[in-house]
Amino acid sequence: MAKIAKNGVVALDYSVDGGTTFLPIPGVKSFDPGTTTAEDIDVTDYDSTGDQREYANGYKATSDGSFTVNFDEENAAHTALIAAAGGASILLRHQYDTKWLTMPTLIKAFSTPVSVGEALIATVTIKASAAPTWSAVT
């Protein structure tokens, strides 16, 4: 059954000490961890039948993801993300109701485009640097 996006129990936290301490990232509007896909490895050989190539999954990779925040230049979490931009590695932890998605993450970029008459929304571009893990919220 599909989950419906809502203003339920969701949160985005970060850690710079390997996961001992997680701090909240306030003002988060959206989160996209990126899409994980596996390489196609061609395993076709002389015994393959049906004029069809055969494949197995290879290494996985995750595309760039991002999240947006209502930017506050005085917020410590937002300034930490600015400092991390350019490839620093942190842990991100995103809460989906009763589960945490924790992922080692590179902060690739921090952008704050400005439009007249609109809130200042920052976009943080991320890349998973290792496999994510799921755990129960305690």
List pLDDT tens digits, range 10-68. Answer: 889 999 999 999 999 999 999 999 999 999 999 999 988 888 899 999 999 999 999 99
pLDDT in tens, 120-131: 999 999 999 999
- Host H or E run for residue 103: strand 99-111
Give the ranges where 38-86 is alpha helix by DSSP (H).
76-84
How far from 45 is each of 41, 49, 51, 53, 57, CA to CA, in Å?
Answer: 12, 9, 11, 8, 16
Chain position carrying tokens 């809502």 = 6
Q: What is the pTM of this model?
A: 0.82
So where are the chain's domains?
Answer: 25-31+64-138
